[in-house]
C-alpha cells in the first residue's frame, strides 16, 4: 500500500464524516452518530494490511473501520438515514453496520461486545483451517470490561489468528483515562495475558500500517494473538456532529495539540511538496467530493423500509 | 417388526443426541466448564472428547460471558456450537452476550447472519443447592425476542428436541432439569426430531387442564393418577417449549375442560405460568368456568437446609389437594396422602416415578 493510497483512504473517511456532520442538523439522520474524525489513521493503517477474506469487527464508533475495510458507502449512508437500502435495512442505524461482502463482520454499541465475537470468528477460522485473520477495534474504555480479558485469555490459550486494536483516545465519553485506570500502559496488561505487543502513534498512518503488516504476517504464520495499542484523539463530541471542547472536560490546548498533528493534513502537506503530489492531492479531493455527493444522492433515493418486514428478521 | 423398546436415562439420551449431532455435522462443537472432565456434566458429555477429539469437544475457562460471545462469533462464522452450563445460575454471567448479541445478531442485521447456537442450562431442586444453584429462570430467557427456549421433560423429548435445537439456525436455550436426568425412558437409537414449538398432551382428561413445565410434569402425572381414582380426570399438558409457547394446544384443551391450572418450576411473579394464563384469557376467556390457578414456587429464593425446603417445592400431593380444592371437590385427605405422601426424603428425586413418560 503506497503512502498516497493510505492518505487517500484517510481523506475519504474524513470527508465522509464531515459530510455526515454537515447534514446531521437537518434532522433526517434520526440515530446517534459517533464520528471517527481524528482517528482515521488507525482504521486505515490496520485495514490496509488485510486481505479481502480477513474479517473486521467494530464498536459504536465504526464508520472509519467499515469504510477502511471496503464497506459500501451508499449502504452505510442509507442505513444512517434509516432507509431500505441501508446495510441493515434501517434496523441498525449508525451503531450497527455490516458489510459481509467486504469482510466487515459487524459493529454494535455495547462496549466490548464484539471482542469475543472476533475471537470466536478466529476460532472458527482455525478449526476450519481457513487462511483468515480477524481484527477487532475498540477503545481504551473497552479495556475495562471483563469480557475483554476473558476473550484475550481464550485467544492466547488457543493461539487464534486475532488482532486486537486498542484505539486509546484517552476518553470514555467525558471521563478521562486517568479517572478510570491506574497509571500503567494498557498494552502491558495484554502482554501479561500472553499477547504479542505492538504500539504505534495513532496519528501516523505509516507507523500504524507498518506495525499492522508485521502483526498480520505473524498471525498468518500461526503466531500468538497480537495486541496493537495506538494513541489517538477524538476531535468532535462523543456522540453527535459538533465540537464539545467548550464543556471543559478536556484540558485547554489538548485538542489543538492533536489537531496540529492531524494525520490527514500532515500527510497532505508532505505529499504536496512536489507539484505532482499537489496535483494528486487536489485530484483526490475532487474525486472524493464527487463520490460523496453521488453516494448521498443514491442513499436518499432509497425506498423507506416497512415495519411489516420486521418480524421476518427475528428468526432464521 | 416393532422396534424392541430401548430404555435409557435422559442423561444418556442427551449424550446420544450430542454424539449423533457431531457425527452428522462436522460443524457441531461442544464446549463448557467440565465437558470433558470425569463427571461429564452429569454424564451427558462423558466420552465425547475421546470420541470426537479435542478440536471439537472443549473444556472452557471460567469465563461465561466471554465464552458465550466466542460461541456466537463461531456460530456466525459457520460453526454450530453447543455450550453447557452445569447450573443455569452461571448463565446469568453471560446475559449480555445472550440478550444483546445472540438474540439480536440475526435481527439487527436484517436477517443477513444466522446464529446457530445451543446453550444447555441445567436447573434443579433439592439436596441443598440453595439460593444460587437452583433457580428456574426460563421466564427471564423467554422474555427475549430472538431466543427459542425449551424445557423437555421426557428422555424421548430431550433427545429429539436437542437434535432439533442443534439443527436449528437460531439461538436455543435448552433447559434441562437435574431430577429428570436419571429417569429412564423409551428412547429410539436412530436420530429423530421433536419440534421446538409444540406442547404434548401426555394424559387426556375432561375436567381440568393442568399445563406443566419440565419436572412439574412428573408431579402433575402422579397427581393426575391419584385424582383419577376419585373421578377427577386431569388433562396433563407438558408444555415442552417456553418460547414460543404452544398456546393453541393449551387453549384447545381449556375449551374442552373449562379449567386451567399451570404448574411451573419457577417463581410466580413475572413467571411463565402467568403468561400461559394471560394467553388463555385473551383468546378463550368465555371457555373458563372458574378462575385459573398458578402453582409455582413462593416468591422467595430457594433455601438450602432440608428443614427449610420442606414445603418450598410443590409436589404431587400438593398439586392433587390444590386441584381438588379448586374444583370444589372434597376428597378425604387421608386417601390422597395415602397415595401420594412421599416415603422418601423430599429433597431427592421422586422414586415413585420411574417412567415411562
| pLDDT tens-digit map of B22-58 | 999 999 999 999 999 989 999 999 999 999 999 999 9
Q: What is the mean pLDDT of chain B?
A: 94
Angle between helical axes of A146-157 and A186-193 (0-180°, round to 10): 40
- Which residue in B74, B107, B145 is closest to A120 by CB distance? B74
Greatest Cα pair distance, chain B, in angstroms, is: 62
* Cis preceding linkage at B309, omega within 30: no
> Does residue B74 sit at the A interface (CB-CB below 8 Å)?
yes
Residue A120 sits at the vertex; the CA angle it makes with A119 and A122, to the nearest 5 degrees, is 65
Instruction: List all residues 6 or more positions away from A144 whose beta carbon is below 8 Å from its beta carbon.
Output: A172, A180, A181
Contact between residue A39 and residue A202 where contact means Cβ atoms under 8 Å apart:
yes
> Does residue A253 sit at the B interface (CB-CB below 8 Å)?
no
DSSP H or E run through A266: helix A263-271
CA dist B296 and B54 (Å) reads 42
Instruction: Name the pLDDT band for B353 (thresholds 50, 70, 90).
Output: low
> Does residue A105 sit at the B interface (CB-CB below 8 Å)?
yes
What residues does B324 pair with on adjacent strands? none
> Does residue A314 sit at the B interface (CB-CB below 8 Å)?
yes
Q: How far does the CA of residue A194 sit from the closest CA of chain B (Å)? A: 15
Question: Least CA distance to A123: which residue of chain B?
Answer: B74
Per-block mean pLDDT, blocks of 10 residues, chain A (316 long):
94 98 94 95 98 97 98 98 97 96 97 97 96 97 96 98 97 94 96 98 97 97 97 94 92 94 96 95 98 98 97 96
> Does residue B71 sit at the A interface (CB-CB below 8 Å)?
yes
- Which residue in A91, A98, A154 is closest to B70 by CB distance? A154
Contact criterion met (CB < 8 Å) for A124 and B145:
no
Contact between residue B110 and residue B282 where contact means Cβ atoms under 8 Å apart:
no
CB < 8 Å to A315, chain B? 106, 146, 148, 170
Instruction: Name the pLDDT band for B347 (thresholds 50, 70, 90).
Output: confident
| Catalytic annotation present for B64 | yes
CA dist A124 and A127 (Å) reads 5
Contact between residue A138 and residue A108 where contact means Cβ atoms under 8 Å apart:
no
Contact criterion met (CB < 8 Å) for A154 and B96:
no
Which one is catalytic: B12, B16, B106, B133? B133
- Which residue in A146, A157, A313 is closest to B65 by CB distance? A146
Contact criterion met (CB < 8 Å) for B72 and A119:
no
Instruction: Name the pLDDT band for B1 (thresholds 50, 70, 90).
Output: very low
The single-letter DSSP state of residue A95 is T
**What are the structural domain ranges in chain A?**
3-302
CB < 8 Å to A92, chain B? 108-110
CB atoms within 10 A of CB A174: 13
CB atoms within 10 A of CB A303: 9
Q: Select the CATH number that applies to the domain covering A3-302 from these four: 2.30.110.10, 3.40.50.2300, 3.40.50.970, 1.20.1300.10.
A: 3.40.50.970
Which one is catalytic: B16, B64, B176, B275? B64
CB < 8 Å to B59, chain A? none
pLDDT at site A254? 94
Instruction: List all residues 6 or more positions away from B95 whose beta carbon is below 8 Å from its beta carbon.
Output: B65
CA dist B284 and B286 (Å) reads 6
Contact between residue B42 and residue B84 where contact means Cβ atoms under 8 Å apart:
no
Contact between residue B46 and residue B130 where contact means Cβ atoms under 8 Å apart:
no
DSSP H or E run through B28: strand B28-32
pLDDT digits (tens, 9 = 90+) for B183-217: 999 999 999 999 999 999 999 999 999 999 999 99
Contact between residue A36 and residue A13 where contact means Cβ atoms under 8 Å apart:
yes
> Does residue B118 sit at the A interface (CB-CB below 8 Å)?
no
pLDDT at site B3? 58
Contact criterion met (CB < 8 Å) for B78 and A105:
no
Angle between helical axes of B247-257 and B272-284 (0-180°, round to 10): 60
CB atoms within 10 A of CB B80: 22
CA dist A281 and A12 (Å) reads 11
Contact criterion met (CB < 8 Å) for B109 and A98:
yes
Contact between residue B161 and residue B18 where contact means Cβ atoms under 8 Å apart:
no
- Which residue in B73, B78, B105 is closest to A118 by CB distance? B73
CB < 8 Å to A303, chain B? none
A211-236 residues labelled b (16+ CB within 10 A) or e (exposed) = bbbbbbebbeeeebbbbbbbbbbbbb
CB < 8 Å to A149, chain B? 66
> Does residue A106 sit at the B interface (CB-CB below 8 Å)?
yes
Task: Sketch out chain B's domains with CATH numbers.
Answer: 7-186 (3.40.50.970), 200-340 (3.40.50.920)
Amino acid at each position: 500500500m503506497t503512502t498516497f493510497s493510505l492518505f487517500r483512504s484517510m481523506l475519504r473517511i474524513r470527508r465522509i464524516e464531515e459530510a455526515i456532520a454537515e447534514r446531521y442538523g437537518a434532522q433526517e439522520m434520526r440515530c446517534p452518530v459517533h464520528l471517527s474524525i481524528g482517528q482515521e489513521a488507525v482504521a486505515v493503517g490496520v485495514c490496509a494490511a488485510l486481505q479481502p477474506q480477513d474479517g473486521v469487527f467494530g464498536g459504536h464508533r465504526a464508520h472509519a473501520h467499515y469504510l477502511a475495510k471496503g464497506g459500501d458507502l451508499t449502504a452505510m449512508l442509507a442505513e444512517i438515514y434509516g432507509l431500505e437500502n441501508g446495510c441493515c435495512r434501517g434496523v441498525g442505524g449508525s451503531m450497527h453496520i455490516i458489510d459481509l461482502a467486504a469482510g466487515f463482520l459487524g459493529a454494535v454499541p455495547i462496549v466490548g461486545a464484539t471482542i469475543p465475537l472476533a475471537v470466536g470468528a478466529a476460532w472458527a477460522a482455525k478449526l476450519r483451517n481457513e487462511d483468515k485473520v480477524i481484527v477487532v477495534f475498540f477503545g481504551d474504555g473497552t479495556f475495562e470490561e471483563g469480557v475483554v480479558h476473558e476473550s484475550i485469555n481464550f485467544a492466547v490459550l488457543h493461539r487464534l489468528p486475532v488482532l486486537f486494536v486498542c484505539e486509546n483516545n484517552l476518553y470514555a465519553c467525558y471521563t478521562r483515562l486517568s479517572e478510570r485506570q491506574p497509571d500503567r500502559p494498557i498494552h502491558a496488561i495484554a502482554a501479561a495475558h500472553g499477547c504479542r505487543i505492538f504500539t504505534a502513534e495513532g496519528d501516523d498512518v505509516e507507523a500504524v500500517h507498518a506495525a499492522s503488516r508485521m502483526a498480520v504476517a505473524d498471525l498468518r504464520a500461526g503466531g500468538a494473538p497480537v495486541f496493537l495499542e495506538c494513541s489517538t484523539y477524538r476531535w468532535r463530541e462523543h456522540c453527535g456532529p459538533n465540537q464539545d471542547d467548550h464543556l471543559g472536560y478536556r484540558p485547554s490546548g489538548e485538542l489543538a495539540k492533536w489537531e496540529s498533528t492531524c494525520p490527514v493534513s500532515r500527510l497532505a502537506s508532505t505529499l504536496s511538496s512536489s507539484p505532482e503530489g499537489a496535483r494528486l492531492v487536489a485530484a483526490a479531493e475532487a474525486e472524493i467530493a464527487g463520490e460523496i455527493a453521488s453516494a448521498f444522492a443514491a442513499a436518499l433515493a432509497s425506498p423507506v423500509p416497512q415495519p411489516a418486514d420486521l418480524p421476518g428478521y427475528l428468526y432464521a | 417388526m416393532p422396534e424392541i423398546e430401548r430404555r435409557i436415562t435422559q442423561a444418556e439420551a442427551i449424550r446420544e443426541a450430542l454424539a449423533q449431532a457431531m457425527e452428522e455435522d462436522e460443524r457441531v462443537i461442544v464446549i463448557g466448564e467440565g465437558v470433558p472432565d470425569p463427571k461429564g456434566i452429569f454424564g451427558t458429555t462423558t466420552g465425547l472428547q475421546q470420541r470426537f477429539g479435542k478440536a471439537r469437544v472443549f473444556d472452557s475457562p471460567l469465563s461465561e460471558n466471554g465464552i458465550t460471545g466466542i460461541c456466537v462469533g463461531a456460530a456466525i462464522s459457520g460453526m454450530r456450537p453447543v455450550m453447557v452450563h452445569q447450573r443455569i445460575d452461571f448463565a446469568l454471567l453471560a446475559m449480555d452476550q445472550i440478550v444483546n448479541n445472540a438474540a439480536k445478531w440475526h435481527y439487527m442485521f436484517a436477517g443477513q447472519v444466522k446464529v446457530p447456537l445451543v446453550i444447555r442450562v441445567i436447573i434443579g431442586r433439592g439436596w441443598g443447592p440453595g439460593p444460587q444453584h437452583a433457580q428456574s429462570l426460563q421466564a427471564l430467557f423467554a422474555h427475549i425476542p430472538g431466543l427459542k427456549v425449551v424445557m423437555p421433560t421426557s428422555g424421548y423429548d430431550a433427545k429429539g428436541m436437542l437434535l432439533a435445537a442443534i439443527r436449528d439456525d437460531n439461538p436455543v436455550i435448552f433447559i434441562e432439569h437435574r431430577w429428570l436426568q436419571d429417569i429412564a425412558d423409551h428412547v429410539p437409537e436412530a436420530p429423530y426430531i421433536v419440534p421446538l414449538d409444540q406442547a404434548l398432551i401426555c394424559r387426556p382428561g375432561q375436567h381440568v387442564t393442568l399445563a406443566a413445565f419440565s419436572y412439574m410434569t412428573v408431579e402433575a402425572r402422579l397427581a393426575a393418577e391419584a385424582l383419577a381414582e376419585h373421578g377427577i380426570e386431569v388433562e396433563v399438558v407438558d408444555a415442552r417449549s417456553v418460547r414460543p409457547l404452544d398456546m393453541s394446544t393449551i387453549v384447545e384443551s381449556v375449551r374442552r375442560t373449562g379449567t386451567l391450572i399451570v404448574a411451573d418450576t419457577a417463581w410466580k411473579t413475572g413467571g411463565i405460568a402467568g403468561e400461559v394464563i394471560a394467553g388463555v384469557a385473551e383468546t378463550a376467556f368465555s371457555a373458563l368456568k372458574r378462575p385459573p390457578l398458578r402453582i409455582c414456587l413462593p416468591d422467595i429464593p430457594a433455601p438450602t437446609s432440608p428443614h427449610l425446603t420442606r414445603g418450598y417445592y410443590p409436589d404431587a400431593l400438593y398439586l392433587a389437594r390444590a386441584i381438588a380444592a379448586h374444583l370444589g371437590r372434597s376428597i378425604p385427605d387421608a386417601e390422597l396422602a395415602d397415595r401420594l405422601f412421599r416415603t422418601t426424603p423430599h429433597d431427592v428425586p421422586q422414586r415413585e416415578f420411574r417412567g415411562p413418560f
